[in-house]
Each structure stands twice: as C-alpha cells, then as structure tokens.
Structure 1
C-alpha cells in the first residue's frame, strides 16, 4: 500500500520546495522518492524537499540540538542528493514553522539546524533575513564553460556553507543568451561540485551606497532555478571582491524570480527576501 504524506508547497522568489513535516524522524526517503515528489509533471513539483524534523531525531542534528536549535532543515535537491544549505529554503522553512505554530519568529531570532551549522532568522523589510555566517573566497581560478558563451570564462569560488563558482559577464544580452538547460563544465572540477552563478553588474554598479547586480544560476542536483539564496549571497560577495576597496556592504540582486537583499557585517553575510507558503495537501508515496 502506498504511504500517504502530508505536505506544503512553498517558495522564495520562485525557488520552490515540497515541505514534509516529520517531527520524530520516522520518514526515510530514497533518492528516487525525492525525485518523484519533485517531478513537475508526475509529482508535486519543486527544486527540492524540506523535511521538518526535530534536531534530536536526526543524526546530523546532534550539534544543532546541543546549541538549542529545536528544528533541523533536512534539505534534499530535486535529484535526491543532500545539500549543506539553501538560503531560500531556510526562509520558507522558518515561515512554515511560524505559520504552523511549531516556532515563533516574534520571540526573537529563530535558530534552525542545517548541515552547514545553525542559522538564525529574523523578520526584515523584504520578508525574512537569515544570517548565513562567515564566508570564504577562494581565489584559485576555475574555468567555466557554458552553452551560449563563446569561450571559457574565469570564475571565483565562494563558500557560504555550500560551494559556489561565480562568473562575471559583460552585458545583459550575454546573461540572457545562456542556455542553462545544459550543465556548465568546471575546470578543475570541485570535489563536491558547485552551484554556478552568472552575474552582470548594474550600470552604475552602486547607487546610494548600495550595489546592484543581475544573476542566473545552475544549481547542482537541480538545474537552472528561478533563484538561489546562497547563490545570490555568493554573487554579491564575488562582485564586491572584484570591485575591491571601497565596495559597498549592501547589495540588491535581481534573479528571474524576483529581488533579494544581501548585507555583509563583520565578516558575516546576511540574506533577506520573501518566503511564501502556497498550498497544502496529501500525496501518495510509492
């Protein structure tokens, strides 16, 4: 007999997720089951799965539980693979906890466990803001080949809890001309893969002390998505790195699914944006 699961569908700037409540950690999804749930024709459809589990009920949540984070975001990409973090996903996860009464965003910063450590969320003008923590710039050059680019372009590695490679393009036309139905090729290949962001600076780059860029992204284990929260943060960090001394700490990043905000404070990066719950239902799991 198929198992019936309750679910909620949510998204952050079009980066969409199937949310599965599993407080006591009883659900063990195979990669194929995750892929079936995320299938946009035969399943619910989504860029990934957010399993809502208590930190004490998952082996990977031990450190989160010890730090006082009651809930752990077990994030799986659409192909079933595990991911360290998801900047849009964790805002949607926090919205779900708040709206279902499992936690409150009005009781102070909300701590949530992830494979990239505990992250805290608060309300913001754009919706919710997550402190992604410290970041790391890897200046080892990576060559990126993508369909629609005539030659390979150099990329910079940015780690914000999960790995990214950011590539600068010259014009909006180059950005729009990319064919991201095909996975970009990285040389050398990162040991755990990477999300790849393609960015175009605004003209002018900075207005009123705030930087502005446009971005498209190919997410490992998913493909092109309308948005990628950690990718947005990585893209802003990369452009700030390239701009050098005097570059702003506040950025807006436009993606196909909308606009997000990025702030750098004392070596940490914070991401803000909307998080929306769309509908709930039940689904039969084969």
Structure 2
C-alpha cells in the first residue's frame, strides 16, 4: 500500500504532511523513520497528520511527530503549513480555521497578502506547567557540564522552551549547549533551546535546537518564545521581526494573557507517494 504525502516548509522548517481525513493513518516508528530520514526516505523536521475534528468546536485535529518518532503538542510553522495544505487539498476554503493539537487549540488565518498567521495562545510561565523542576523566577541559572552556569528564561508555548540571550547567534554553542540542556533532569519532557541575539527593539536573530529534531532552519513556537522572553526582559517591543536560518518570521505579543501571533510565508515543495 502506498502513502500519499505533501512536502512543505515555512522559512525552511520542513514537514511531511499526511491527510488522514479521507483515509485513516496510524503512524508507526518504521513509517515515521522513512518519512523523516533525509537519506533513505523523504526527509523532514516533523511529520504532520491532519485528522477529522474530534469535537464540534474545531475544524481539524492536528498531530505532530518529531524526527525521532516522539509526538509533541505544538508547532507554529507546521500549523501555518497545515492551513495552506487543507486549502490546496480542498478540505476547507475558510479564511479562518481552528485546529486542535495535543496541547491546545490554535486559530489560523489566511491573509490577503498570502501570508498565514497562527494564534499560538498565551505563554505559560509556571514551572510545573512548562514543565520544569525549578522554583519560579524571571531568569533561571543552571550549572551545565562544559558550559558553566547558564542563564535563561523559560516558558511554554504549548511546548517547553528555554531562551538564552547571546551576543552573536553565529558563534553560539547551539550544537553542544542545546542537547546538554535537553537532557537535564530539570526538564522532564526535554526542552526546545533558543539562542537569541537582539538586533533592535523590533528585530532579533534566532537559532533553535529542537526536541527530537536537533537544530532546524526555523522554529515557529521558538520564535514566539524568544520574542516573549525579550519583551519580558524589556528589550523588545510588541511587534518583532525574527531572522532565522531559513528566512524571516514575524511575531507580535501585547503582553500579559494576550495570545502570541506568528506570521510568515509557507511553500508546498512537492507531492509524492511512499511505497
């Protein structure tokens, strides 16, 4: 049996998208390995599965699988690609959509300029809800073997994030400090580690070492987490351009309990079948 799929990306953050609304799809470790492997399979950062809604208050359910086979509750760039996917596949022509992930309901909007926005909801700072095993603080300090004491801000955007401010993302120790923080017992569900350089009050540069995927060319929820962290630090305004390795994203947050909005381009690369 063949499996139809669509390859998409948002600012270089790439996905294999599966339509499970017409035919059921139950991901197995072997299938996910073939879909995510860049040498022996299709290749992607994450596999997205679009399902029929489980409740009447959403248009679709939306499952997200990392390259290591783990299922997660959030992916901002993936959600934006999903909005384009369901329109191109004739599943919905609505300009506004609501989709349910494993952690929250997201609102998606098609803009007149072709850009797609996603409302990722309000950030969460309570350590137990991130989850993170540290007493609540604005800035956390954690000894990390090989890196000394590391200062970071932590929050959840439906998935856990630690944001580290660095002088230059180009020379940041992403490949070593990222995985070192991820395996810390302080983060029982691991963590996405963002390295942010503030360029101006409305601009940052960002690299993210993601759970289950390693460093990616872009991370939508990571961009949102970094902007929120910068705003709370008093370094950023409410509307911020985020320069990532794969392009550019835009994030806005009014603070407090307001939702965080992510915007950017999406692209369908090709469609195919896995034999």
Please report the TM-score for the alignment, with normalisation by the length of structure 2.
Answer: 0.87
CA distance in 1, matches of 2:157, 2:42: 29
CA distance in 2, matches of 1:235, 1:144: 21
2:245 aligned partner: 256
Q: Is the 8 A contact 2:224 2:251 kept in 1?
A: yes
The answer as to 2:63 corresponding to 1:74 is: yes
Relative distance call for 1:152 and 1:24 in structure 2 (3 A) is farther
1:76 match: secondary structure: strand
Q: Deviations over 1:99-124 (max 9, x none)?
A: 11101243xx2111111222111123
Relative distance call for 1:193 and 1:172 in structure 2 (3 A) is closer
More strand by share: 1
Relative distance call for 1:240 and 1:72 in structure 2 (3 A) is same
The answer as to 2:110 corresponding to 1:134 is: no
Please report the TM-score for the alignment, with normalisation by the length of structure 1.
Answer: 0.84
CA distance in 1, matches of 2:15, 2:186: 28
2:44 match: secondary structure: coil
Q: Deviations over 1:29-84 (max 9, x none)?
A: 1123212210000000001111111123xxxxxxxx231x1311111111111010
The answer as to 2:100 corresponding to 1:113 is: yes
Match of 2:156 among 144, 153, 159: 159
Worse-matched range after superposition: 96-105 or 222-231: 96-105
- Displacement of 1:96 in angstroms is 0.3
- Structure 2: gaps of 5 or more residues: 127-135
What is the RMSD of the two structures over their aligned residues, measured on CA atoms?
A: 2.2
1:234-249 → structure 2 map (5 Å cutoff): 234-243=225-234, 247-249=236-238
1:1-286 → structure 2 map (5 Å cutoff): 3-23=1-21, 26-56=24-54, 65-67=55-57, 69-106=58-95, 109-124=96-111, 125=113, 127-138=115-126, 139-140=136-137, 141-143=140-142, 145=144, 150-175=147-172, 178-179=174-175, 183-185=179-181, 187-202=184-199, 205-206=200-201, 211-243=202-234, 247-265=236-254, 267-284=258-275
- Structure 1: gaps of 5 or more residues: 57-64
Q: Is the 8 A contact 1:9 1:18 kept in 2?
A: yes
Q: Is the 8 A contact 1:146 1:179 kept in 2?
A: no
Q: Is the 8 A contact 2:64 2:71 kept in 1?
A: yes
Number of residue equivalences: 260
